[in-house]
């Protein structure tokens, strides 16, 4: 298999699909922000900045055109923020296996 553009080997284990023709993002894909982003934290109480290059997991895909809720962790196993992103905001660095993430 070929790698997703920009995937550097860090992140989830090598159990997903990594391809240059990856199609639309689906739930459980791991993504990397292309630019920094100011948003509210998970509780909505504080503003946080997610740096360009921050990695998160798509937890919901919906709408037309699609929007993507992406969970970014706090480094201690909790959710830091779950902003809604557009496809242009991120690149996929790890592809969810075909039997997960679709139709959920």
**Distance, CA of 53 to CA of 91 (rounded, Å):** 10
Residue 15 domain-assigned (yes or no):
no
Domain count, the chain: 1
Mean pLDDT of 4-28: 58
pLDDT in tens, 6-15: 444 454 544 4
Contacts of 34 (CB under 8 A, 6+ apart): 52, 88, 89, 90, 91
How would you classify the pairing of strands 47-50 and 67-73?
A: unpaired
Judge whether 85 lies within some domain: yes
- pLDDT digits 0-9 by tens, 59-99: 999 999 899 999 999 889 999 999 999 999 999 999 988 65
**The whole model's pTM is what?**
0.73
Alpha-carbon span 21 to 19, nearest angstrom: 5
**Within-domain flag for 37:** yes
**Containing structural domain, residue 33:** 29-95
Kindly state whether residue 19 falls inside one of the protein's structural domains.
no
The whole-number pLDDT of residue 97 equals 82
């Amino acid at each position: 298999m070929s790698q997703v553009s920009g995937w550097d080997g860090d992140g989830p284990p090598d159990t997903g699909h990594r391809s240059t023709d990856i199609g639309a993002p689906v739930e459980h894909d791991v993504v990397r922000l292309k630019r920094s982003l100011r948003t509210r934290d998970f509780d909505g109480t504080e503003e946080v900045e997610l740096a360009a290059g921050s990695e998160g997991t798509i937890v919901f895909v919906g709408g037309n055109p699609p929007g993507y809720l992406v969970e970014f962790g706090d480094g201690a196993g909790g959710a830091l923020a779950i902003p809604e992103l557009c496809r242009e905001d991120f690149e996929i660095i790890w592809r969810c296996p075909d039997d997960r993430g679709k139709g959920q």
